[in-house]
Amino acid sequence: MILIADGGSTKADWVLLKKSGEELLRTRTGGLNPAVFDEELLAKRIRENTDLVAYKDEVTHVYFYGAGCGTEKPTSQLKSIFESFFINAAVDVKEDTYAATYAVTTEPGIVCILGTGSNSCYFDGENVDVRIASLGYILMDEASGNYFGKKLIRDYYYHKMPVDIAKQFEEQFDIDADTIKKNIYKKDNPNTYLAHFAEFIFKNERNVYFNKVLHKGMKDFFKNKILPYKESESVPVHFVGSIAYFAQDIIKDVARFNMIKLGNIVRRPIDGLIDYHRKKLKLEKL
């Protein structure tokens, strides 16, 4: 059996396939970003999933694609946790850009992730090339959930948010200053905490203020994470993630302005990953 997972900071989706390619199980754990969470919490989230516990000794391969797995140390840490849990499995851990790529294209293109965090890469048809290292939610992550969450909080406190929208914001969230500081500076998962404020944009009727916030974020993302790739002049640009899915009208506007050819926009890459690994299983049988 092979176990496939697409993991972010908020959640990780898991799918178990038989060697025939038949799907046996789907399950979900909390986020497994090794650049954000400590080893104890990562291991705990795996152990607490009863579905994974039930099949852990039968799994022969684990393919994990996750946020925070772009450098050696966190990748090795996560791999070690999986190897100690799935004791009979070979473990392969790759950055989430690989999952996004396998989910949207088999042809050359630029692939972008817009979820809790954000990233981009170039795919030449065979290899994934991440040319701009991600430094996470404090320094980068343009147009991500946590980026928009920070923007909303700042606008509220700087009185830049329209009065009627600020009132709705107060009603939907606990925006007490001490609460916000405690969640950002003292509690786990500050990036996920910030990202949950972005729901405010997508769960309410779109207005001039929201469109302005979204356009600014997408322009920053295109400027820093797409246009530096010279290939953006000739290949399509694909997007994966919940923010991309709900803001695709804005993405189309900014792509048109920059004369970028837009490719696929997919909310969750897990189904594309399943197809990719099913094809691999068929090839292995030949």
pLDDT at residue 8, rounded to an integer: 85
**CATH fold group of domain 2-101+269-285:** Nucleotidyltransferase; domain 5 (3.30.420)
Q: What's the average model confidence in pLDDT over 221-248?
A: 96
**Sorting pLDDT into bands at 50, 70 and 90, what band is 12?**
very high
Domain boundaries, the chain: 2-101+269-285, 105-266
What is the model's pLDDT at position 283? 67
- Report yes or no: 63 and 88 within 8 Å, Cβ to Cβ: no
- Work out the angle at residue 9's Cα, subtended by the Cα atoms of residues 199 and 78, and round it to the nearest 5 degrees: 170
Residue 16 has pLDDT above 90, yes or no: yes
pLDDT in tens, 109-167: 999 999 999 999 999 999 999 888 888 889 999 999 999 999 999 999 999 999 999 99
R_g of the chain computed on alpha carbons: 19
Asked whether the predicted pLDDT for residue 286 surpasses 60, the reply is no
Predicted confidence at residue 35, as pLDDT, reads: 85
pLDDT band at 101 (very low <50, low <70, confident <90, very high): very high
105-266 has the same fold as 2-101+269-285: yes
The average pLDDT across 35-64 equals 94
Domain 105-266 sits in CATH 3.40.1350.10: no
Query: Considering the chain, what percentage of its residues have pLDDT values greater than 70?
Result: 99
pLDDT at 285: 63
pLDDT of residue 40: 93
**Token pair 């004369």 in the structure block, residue:** 259
10 or 219: whose pLDDT is higher?
A: 219
Q: Is residue 23's pLDDT more than 80? A: yes
What is the per-residue pLDDT across 180-201, written as a single tens digit (0 to 9) for each?
A: 999 999 998 899 999 999 999 9
